Chains A and B, each alone.
Chain A
Amino acid sequence: MSALEMRGVRVAFSGRPVLDGVDLEVPEGGVFGFIGRNGAGKTTTMKVALGLLRPDAGEARVLGERVRFGDSRTNREVGYLPDVPEFYGHMTAERYLALCGEVAGMGRAETRSRAAELLDLVGLASARGRVSGFSRGMRQRLGIAQALLSRPRLVICDEPTSALDPVGRREVLDLLAEIGRGATVLFSTHVLSDVERVCDRVAILHGGRVAMAGALADLRGARGGNRVRVEVAGAADLDALLARPELVPFAAGAERDGLSCTLRAADGRALMGARLEALRAAGVCPVSVGAVEPTLEDLFCEEEI
């Protein structure tokens, strides 16, 4: 059973399509990264999964149960952290979590002990003041605590590291990785380094659809053969190399970096062959030549183009 499954989900706002047939499957367990540029529809996708938005077509299922707009039954196993969590400012963190526990149907004693455990986990155990006095980072951490309160099987986080400083970002990512050991975490972001750091699987949303999805290692491997990097001893050698007719078909995608350059092509084998032929013909002795794995940023940018 998948933690989250979406089939053919379409959403349009004022006639403008935002999601145009999203098919997404988030398997149980681990951390799943959901990436896309700003305005791609990541938040919209999450809102459909949470029953906060009615799709124009398609359906979503959480842990096998169909999600219905306005009905929060599927949310009993889901914890949600929005991109900017808003709380009741007149409450303390402890009181707010107590309210969340009551709303979720948890017992008072259980809520109290779980709240204390989570406030300690997120570093808010000593924060006694009202939430209105919390910093952005403290609110984010309280948001994580409330998302985990009822021990959900699926935790949905919408840009959890946005507006955090580097230390805060690292703490939140470590926390998400820890949570992913016992539950499924789906988190959206446009910070690709965050995804590479903690995610096992990733989906890229582009053009209203999931353009690419799967295990990060598999995605890299599938596209890895089409990149060749060569390093030479001097700039003149690099210029001579890139001027060779064998490399003209690939020169448009060349990325120079000092005395090395990376070329991409759909057919990696042909590219390697052309590169080696160009080196021989130019009489250039390279420092190194080899295939390279694409970074997540490479994969993302390829989909964007």
Chain B
Amino acid sequence: MRGYLAFLRKELGEAVAGRRLAVMAALFCGLGMASPFLTRYTSEILAALGSGVSASAPRTAADAWGAFFNNASGLGLSITLILWAGVVSQEVSRGTLLLMVTRGLPRPAVVMAKWTSAVACFTACWWPGCALASFYIGTLWPGEAVPGALAAAGAAWVAGVMCLGVLVLGSCLFRQPFAAVVLAGAVVAALSLASAAGPLAPLSPARLLSGAAIAAGEVSAGSLVPPLVAATAVCAAALAGAVAAFSRRRL
């Protein structure tokens, strides 16, 4: 446990020093600020630019939350995965893990510390982004409550944590960082297909990424429980696989 905590502290320090945390914070906070404004004023901006687009029906707070979750779950999560793509493979190829492992750091502790640091950084950036979105949406649409927003934020966060687990597995399996991103993307795509139809549709963790529908109340909170459990199981399986793969890897 001591080795795990020491290595986790190193990982978090590295995320700060390498500016990964700063980039993620800027990204999610930027999306949290920009999505409400763009939702509220896009049609006016386009009309003022003389684009020929006439002002459409007024957008609601639910629309703004939908826009935020689409952007954050799409662009935000994708860039997060790219930033952390080489979380294990790059350190193996640099050779910096050699001295840690030979000193007695258990290999499972390496994997878990790297996943934990990725989740911690994602959490530290995701929720402030959501808070900023909530503030600006509340400012731009005063009095318009969107009760499903918190559930949507939580569901997307769980999906993000699951994706990071799959990413760590990919980083343990493959030398190239992009291969880990491809694996995570492939898993999300497969889960999305599973959520479209069939017996697995209610269970698919990809449903957690439909933030717009959850925020708008089209998806009940109760129906999110099976996907949440499935996401947890996928994440746990990915981490178990990552530990097994890394334990066999030649350093």
Contact = CB atoms under 8 A, between A and B. Distances in A.
Given A50-B102, A105-B2, A82 B107 contact: no
Given A87-B96, A99-B10, A105 B102 contact: no
Contacts of B7: 99, 103
A110 to B, nearest CB: 13
Contact of A86 (B2, B98, B247): B98
Contacts of B250: 52-53
Contacts of A73: 104
A100 interface: yes
A85 B6 contact: no
Given A72-B102, A78-B102, A90 B96 contact: no
B17 A90 contact: yes
Contact of B102 (A75, A88, A102): A75
A86 B17 contact: no
Given A76-B104, A80-B102, A102 B247 contact: no
A146 interface: yes
A84 interface: yes
A105 B251 contact: no
B11 to A, nearest CB: 10
Interface of B: 2-3, 5-7, 9-10, 13-14, 17-18, 94-96, 98-107, 247-248, 250-251
15 contacts: A50-B102, A72-B101, A82-B98, A82-B99, A86-B98, A88-B10, A90-B14, A90-B18, A100-B99, A100-B103, A102-B2, A102-B5, A103-B104, A105-B3, A143-B99
Given A72-B102, A102-B5, A104-B103, 13 more contacts: A70-B107, A73-B104, A82-B98, A82-B99, A86-B95, A86-B99, A88-B96, A90-B13, A102-B6, A103-B6, A103-B7, A105-B104, A146-B99
A76 B13 CA distance: 26
Contacts of B106: 72
How would you classify the secondary structure of chain B's contact residues: helix, strand, loop or mixed? helix
B99 A72 contact: no
A72 B103 contact: yes
A86 B102 contact: no
A76 B103 CA distance: 6
> What class of interface size applies to chain A in its complex with B?
20 to 34
A80 B99 contact: yes
A51 B247 CA distance: 11
A104 B7 CA distance: 11
Interface string A59-86: 0000000000010110110101010111
B7 to A, nearest CB: 7
B197 to A, nearest CB: 43
B172 to A, nearest CB: 13
A150 B96 CA distance: 19
A70 B104 contact: no
A82 B251 CA distance: 12
A256 to B, nearest CB: 46
Interface string A90-105: 1100000001101111
A99 B7 CA distance: 8
Contacts of B18: 90
Interface string A26-69: 00000000000000000000000011110000000000000000
B8 to A, nearest CB: 11
Contact of A82 (B5, B6, B95): B95
A131 to B, nearest CB: 10
A103 B95 contact: no
